[in-house]
Structure 1
Amino acid sequence: MTQAAPKTQASDPGGAPGPRHVAIIMDGNGRWARARGRPRLFGHHAGAKRVREIVEACPDLGVKYLTIFAFSTENWKRTQTEVAGLMSLFRRYITKEARALRDEGVRVRFIGDRVKLDDKLVAMMDELEGMTAHNDRVHLTIALNYGSRDEVSRATQRLAQDVADGRLDPAEVDEETLPRYLDTRVLPDPDLVIRTSGEARISNFLLWQSAYAEYEFIDTLWPDFTCDIFARLVRSYGARDRRFGAVTA
């Protein structure tokens, strides 16, 4: 079984401690579009363009891992028109960005349950993961049909099956065991989680992994989330006192 990635932390180019792994809940596309008298999908297209800029900004900020919340298990409750438009947008994004991501040293992974996604999209996801598998400049993880409770449920099923098959001793199960079964098992836990659009909730995103993450809830809508804002949040992270339950003198 693949071992979890080490949970070490990098520094930014200025030498101050910085987040190695940033996760973003990209919220506010629909409101951004409505404010301009446009349909919600117009906002989603604008948000997709913003992703490229943020990915490109990561190396200079010392961010090695970027995880973005693209589509949740709850998003199927949206209108059929919006869901179909989003699935079309995902296919278009992969087609348009695949070569650039590969050439720029970005390794792409997808997390989430792929069973409900259409076969064409899944095949494109698999191909993009394969063609970027040797890259290491930035690790971009896209959460697609992802929900953290769903992820933990699927992981627990696999763990239980290993116990039933005799591959895992129940007495040896501890808090380090479950992460080896999660979708994110090869990734370090996020250091910083950002949510845009003014909402102060985490919406079933990386619940286990973010136990000790720092959070930033900002009013900016995702299509307006610039590289300058991203840089400010990344750098302000270095001023935080991260004690992980300990007490500093």
Structure 2
Amino acid sequence: MSQSTGAKTCYCRAHSQHIPIRTNHQTPYDARPTELNGLMDNQMTSPTLAAAQFCSIRGQLKHNLAGHLAFMQRAADLGADYLLFPELSLTGYEPDLAHELALSPNDACLEPIRAMAMHLQLMTTVGVPLKGPGGSIEVGALTFTAHGDVIAYAKQYLHPGEDAVFSPGSEDCYLQLNQHRIGLCVCADFSHPEHVQRLSEGGSGVYAASVLISPGGYAHDSELLAGHARRHRLPVLIANHGGPTGGL
């Protein structure tokens, strides 16, 4: 699901369809819902997953939130059960604004996403700078479940230089989607083989990567993620930004 004009690549092996759609903002999008038929236990109902290749506007939380709600509606219209947004999708990848824009998981401004996830019965993961312990800031991924719960995850492996602003998380995150388990990853997490190894051994049926990958790094990183999929026999769902953010 993309706001960009160029097509992106889905590394789930069951990539099923490509449907151009429009929202009431008259902005072109591409929807790529992916059914995991044949990749999970055939006795289970296979979920439909969607990746939102969102174009974040620098620091414009209100504008970006409205765009997230539009993506959620279109994903639900296409039959998705789970929607993944890119790294720091609600604010853009803007470390210099992270302290100003950081939120708590239960912040009132996030209530529209929680309500929409329940209304649409669509589990949704969004990217946001999170307030951590002791005044720290984390690269967060918040998952809003169809039952109204909010699950917080903090990126564990930081890129060089990110530690000047962000603190790393310390716990893995698993999302339960009906009978299926999704292992959550934020960007540089996937650069560390031990991360996907742990999530695979922990019973994940999908590795969901919320990322910011620049054009120059796309070939390397996509091959790395494809290698994880082959090595662990684990479908990989990637949500990358659909346009520049943070100078990348």
TM-score by length of 2: 0.42
Of Structure 1 and Structure 2, which has the larger fraction of its residues in strand?
A: 2
Of Structure 1 and Structure 2, which has the larger fraction of its residues in helix?
A: 1
